[in-house]
Structure 1
Amino acid sequence: MDQSIFRITKELSDLQKDSDLSLAVACRDADVRNVMAMIIGPHDTPYEFGFFEFAFKINQEYPRKSPQVTATTTNEGRTRFNPNIYANGKVCLSILGTWRGSSKEQWSAAQGLESILLSIQSLMSMNPYENEPGFEDAKEAHDKKNQKDYIQKIRHETIRISVVHRLEQYLGINPDGTASPENGNEESGSSADNDMDGDEEFVPFEPFKDLCKRRFLWYYDSYLAAVEKGKSEVEENQTFARMPFESQGNGMQGKFNYPELEKRLKAIKAALDAETEGWAAEGLEAKIQDTTVAVNLQRQYEQVVEYFKRQDLAHNVELVDGNPFVWLITYFGKPMTNLDGGLFRIRLCFSPRFPTEQPRAKFETRIFHHRIAADGTPCYFASLSRREDVRTHIEAIIDALEEENPAYDPRTLVNPEAFKLFWGSPDDRKMYNRRLRRSVQQSME
């Protein structure tokens, strides 16, 4: 095997096995030199929980020479999301040879795809305006005004372009891009589609479609919170301020319209919920047809039931209406913990395209927990290497629920109110425990 191919394949495998909740990579099976990557915007930045996609072209001299990296979440070449990430997709980084830097910042064979992604992610900072060369020479008062204006419009466009429009395309909502024409800057297509003109049989390569749908459900309340914050800071239809480093065709132009974004976010949430419900009907049809997925899920259900019996676990699993695509899990709270005595019902829905589309879980019994969204969606991570194993998903959900001393990880921020209390002061933690216990007690009523 070509040494560069071997290196790329290993790096992709390592990244896909990793539990990093903010980076993802994929490629077509026969084309490992063309890699798609996604960075989920860091917490507490204007890029928070946005979906930013990048294309890697890796030459035969890799890893002696760095790949070519292009940003593809650019509003079809109309939006510059960072002083170092241009509207035309150029990514300015010294390790890529696209920006000047010291010898210590140059590319070396010891670096790889992950180091590039982490370097790009570091550009998505709390104050990206500081990435602009010459920032240190700017006048303080004027500079502070620019910083604030820049943060505001990045937050707005992160939600509009990287989240809302992407999910609308995935779900077939407003396919002509005319949902909010008053903005005057709606994009007509998604750079993430990676289409090839003139090839009618070409199927768009959308490796992160399912990932973005599931993460949207995780971060939905955070998106709404960002919208509320934006409403309080800017006027509706206020024009974006132009930054000194922006130019025609390489900037971020538009107007603020948070009320419109809020409506579109809610429409996406409703569409995702409807899609999940639709899986049940599709599943029953698949069961009748005795499809491979239906047979597999039925067999896995029987194996999980037997496993719980052998392990003498109190948890119960049953199929809803005998449908192998809809499981109902009854979870009994772990003794000697804040969950002790609780009785929670968790619905696990499967797509007829499982495991390409991963299952979606929801707590039907209300619970106040920092890893469970207000609508009951749990934030859990099942190993990609075992994503076809349903028991892995169930155990990952239970682990997330029961973990008593987790490491601080803002990527799991799915319930802003509970998360703030859980990681707040000692008094905040006491309040969190009281509210959790109250929801546990209510689960038994």
Structure 2
Amino acid sequence: MADQSIIRITKEIGEIQKNSDLSLAVAFRDRDVRNVKAMIIGPHETPYEFGFFEFSFKFHKEYPRKSPTVTCTTTNGGRCRFNPNIYSSGKVCLTWRGEPGEEWSAAQGLESILLSIQSLMSSNPYENEPGFEHANDTSDKANQRDYVAKIRHETLRISVIQKLEDILGITSANDSPATPIEYDPQTDGLDLDDSSAIWEPFKDLYKRRFLWYYDTYLEAMKDAKKDVKDGQVFTRMPFEGGSNAMEGKFNYTELEKRLQNIKISLNAELDRWATEGLSAKNKDTTVPVNLSRQFDQIKESFKRDDVPHNVELENGNPFVWVITYFGRPMTNFDGGMFRIKLHFSPRFPDEQPRVRFLTPVFHHRVTSDGILCYIPNANRCEDVKQHIEAIFNALEEENPPYDPRTQVHPEAHRLYWGGAEGRKIYNRKLRRSVQRSMEDF
């Protein structure tokens, strides 16, 4: 008889992965389902906004009767305490770990734990400190402000910038030398506690999300620099002590430079993809053959569509597609014509396409430099047609639900959801970009 705990864990992981949640991700190695890596993206309008926070879960054989062991691994090597309830040692204190009436229940699961942790990442995390309700009003308000300020700085420095530098192999003068993180299939199945096994299942996700949120990171830094100065020392909180603290100095000028270098490195990666792709094409390997076949099928399907979209290969390279998108009648895109470039990795579909508008457009799902925020079907990530459909749907969605996790163009986002007057201004800006799009052809 199959292990019931394994069945339960596998089901819970599958449900999270199937939902394509934009703020949660989970992964495990095929032969080690009891050891799970999870990622939480910091919530909007908090000092954790769009930071990448990783956690390790170790599920016991008694699960779900016994809760899993949860450890935060985004701690800057045990030097940073990101929350009163998330220690620099990695310990995570949740309410079900001892409060009367709030003990662990077998009805809970992986997703509920992640959501509980995410709820700790609030706009005022100082409130998570036990005894907060009895704090002195005057000193308390100052501590709250100072605590939020340093969490915002360290979220950007450690969970975003340092994380991407490690992945890309960028060495910073003020942090430990970085080594590119690569997945080695030869280490698959090794225990997660084995430090010799480098495993980074969210590497591609981090790169794509960084490009989505780049403008928001820059805007957050610009706003923060109004309140703190470079070299200003972090304020120690009453509940911090010894190594279980968040020590350091503000230096947003340096962080901006490092953020920009990451963007440059990610753009350069696309050139390497194209070069590697041509080499793979010449060797007639699986990925270019698959992409070429899908290209031919999609090109033929466009010919049969009522709207005359078109697709071409750049320099005959099956890893670089250029789509000509014609705005659908009776929408804000009516009369527009946009060129959209799709870059494919030689490791597609393990690495997902990156999509950029070559024709400028003012849209709440498109960054200022053309990166499109779209959500493909997680169960069909190898199907390029469903990627293209998701791209068009992201542009043409008439009444999208408010979702700050898709905030990739701060100005457009504020206007779109800024009331009737803001929506009018947004629509005018979008229509102007549509009218100008024809000038590029």
Is contact 1:84–1:131 with CA below 8 Å preserved after alignment? Answer: yes
Query: In the alignment, what sits opposite 2:350?
Result: 356
Aligned partner of 1:293 among 280, 287, 294: 287
What is the alpha-carbon distance in structure 2 between the residues aligned to residue 202 and residue 398 of structure 1? 43
Query: In the alignment, what sits opposite 2:210?
Result: 216
Aligned partner of 1:128 among 122, 125, 128: 125
The residue type paired with residue 264 of structure 2 is A
Give the Å deviation of 1:203: 4.2
Is contact 1:319–1:326 with CA below 8 Å preserved after alignment? Answer: yes
2:57 aligned counterpart, secondary structure: strand
Task: Kindly report structure 1 stretches of 4+ aligned residues shifted beyond 6 Å.
Answer: 192-197
**In the superposition, relative to structure 1, how do residues 83 and 200 fare at CA in structure 2: closer, same or farther (>3 Å)?**
closer
Is contact 2:47–2:149 with CA below 8 Å preserved after alignment? Answer: yes
Which residues of structure 2 form unaligned runs of 5+?
none
What is the alpha-carbon distance in structure 1 between the residues aligned to residue 432 and residue 252 of structure 2? 35
Query: In the alignment, what sits opposite 2:148?
Result: 151
Aligned partner of 1:232 among 220, 226, 230: 226
* RMSD of aligned Cα (Å): 1.9
What is the alpha-carbon distance in structure 2 between the residues aligned to residue 107 and residue 383 of structure 1? 33
Is contact 1:76–1:187 with CA below 8 Å preserved after alignment? Answer: no
What is the alpha-carbon distance in structure 2 between the residues aligned to residue 65 and residue 399 of structure 1? 43
1:430 aligned counterpart, secondary structure: helix
Is contact 2:66–2:104 with CA below 8 Å preserved after alignment? Answer: yes
Which residues of structure 1 form unaligned runs of 5+?
181-185
The 5-angstrom pairing of residues 13-92 of structure 1 reads 13-92=14-93
Query: In the alignment, what sits opposite 2:256?
Result: 262
Is contact 2:215–2:410 with CA below 8 Å preserved after alignment? Answer: yes
Query: In the alignment, what sits opposite 1:183?
Result: none
The residue type paired with residue 431 of structure 1 is I
Deviation digits for residues 124-148 of structure 1, max 9, x if unmatched? 0000000000101111010000000
What is the alpha-carbon distance in structure 1 between the residues aligned to residue 177 and residue 367 of structure 2? 32
Query: In the alignment, what sits opposite 2:167?
Result: 170
Q: Check if 1:333 corresponds to 2:327.
A: yes
The residue type paired with residue 217 of structure 1 is L
Give the Å deviation of 1:110: 1.2
Deviation digits for residues 5-61 of structure 1, max 9, x if unmatched? 111111111111112100000001110000000000000000000000000000111
What is the alpha-carbon distance in structure 1 between the residues aligned to residue 244 and residue 87 of structure 2? 6
Deviation digits for residues 280-327 of structure 1, max 9, x if unmatched? 111111100111101010011111112223344411111111110000
Give the Å deviation of 1:4: 0.6
Give the Å deviation of 1:188: 6.0
Give the Å deviation of 1:108: 1.2
Aligned partner of 1:117 among 114, 118, 121: 114
2:259 aligned counterpart, secondary structure: helix
What is the alpha-carbon distance in structure 2 between the residues aligned to residue 38 and residue 85 of structure 1? 14
TM-score (norm. length: structure 1): 0.94
TM-score (norm. length: structure 2): 0.95
Aligned partner of 1:387 among 365, 381, 400: 381
The residue type paired with residue 147 of structure 2 is Y
What is the alpha-carbon distance in structure 1 between the residues aligned to residue 124 and residue 178 of structure 2? 29
The residue type paired with residue 45 of structure 2 is D
What is the alpha-carbon distance in structure 2 between the residues aligned to residue 340 and residue 209 of structure 1? 37
Give the Å deviation of 1:200: 11
2:226 aligned counterpart, secondary structure: helix
Query: In the alignment, what sits opposite 1:137?
Result: 134
Give the Å deviation of 1:235: 1.0
Deviation digits for residues 194-226 of structure 1, max 9, x if unmatched? 9999x9995411000000000000000000011
Query: In the alignment, what sits opposite 1:273?
Result: 267
What is the alpha-carbon distance in structure 1 between the residues aligned to residue 70 and residue 176 of structure 2? 23
Q: Which moved more, 1:199-208 or 1:235-244?
A: 199-208
What is the alpha-carbon distance in structure 2 between the residues aligned to residue 401 and residue 132 of structure 1? 43
What is the alpha-carbon distance in structure 1 between the residues aligned to residue 120 and residue 313 of structure 2? 47
What is the alpha-carbon distance in structure 2 between the residues aligned to residue 20 and residue 249 of structure 1? 34
The residue type paired with residue 411 of structure 2 is E
Give the Å deviation of 1:193: 9.4
Query: In the alignment, what sits opposite 1:412?
Result: 406
The 5-angstrom pairing of residues 314-325 of structure 1 reads 314-325=308-319
What is the alpha-carbon distance in structure 2 between the residues aligned to residue 203 and residue 324 of structure 1? 33
The residue type paired with residue 144 of structure 1 is K
**In the superposition, relative to structure 1, how do residues 200 and 77 fare at CA in structure 2: closer, same or farther (>3 Å)?**
closer
